[in-house]
Amino acid sequence: MSDFRHAVRVYVEDTDAGGIVYYANYLKYMERARTEYLRSLGYAKPALFDGLQFVVRDVSVRYLKPALLDDYLQITAILTAVSRVSFEMQQSIFCGKQLLARGAIKAACIAETTKRPARLPQEMFEALKSYIA
């Protein structure tokens, strides 16, 4: 079970002419939180390691309330499923106690050179399974 939270400040780069955070940029925040969550579990370079990489297969986001310039956000990451070749996480974006957005992703492991599906390292598979919420 995870209470992992990663803090993110909203900078000008993240906003758009509508005065809010651009919708694609929430996916950046979500990935930062996933990266830091995996780092906290001991995977220091989770995006590219040992000839493997994770690619997102599915993402969905529901936007409830816009984040604004200078907001200080908290992004959660919870492991909800792990298989031999993929994992799933649920994530939420908060400003204070206000829930701004909720999302889910499924990431698959592929070989860096061939870009074809590959198995998670056995110890990573076992470890991630033990962290499922």
With respect to a second copy, which residue has the nearer C-beta, 57 or 84? Answer: 57
Query: 16 an active-site residue?
Result: yes
Least distance CB 123 / a second copy (angstroms): 20
With respect to a second copy, which residue has the nearer C-beta, 49 or 129? Answer: 49
> Which positions touch a second copy (CB under 8 A)?
9, 11-13, 15-20, 22-25, 27-28, 31-32, 35-36, 44-45, 47-48, 53, 55-63, 66, 68-70, 112, 115
For the chain, what is the HEC assignment?
A: CCCCEEEEECCHHHECCCCCECCCHHHHHHHHHHHHHHHHCCCCCCCEECCEEEEEEEEEEEECCCCCCCCEEEEECEEEEECCCEEEEEEEEEECCEEEEEEEEEEEEEECCCCCECCCCHHHHHHHHHCCC
Least distance CB 113 / a second copy (angstroms): 9
Q: Which residues are catalytic?
A: 16
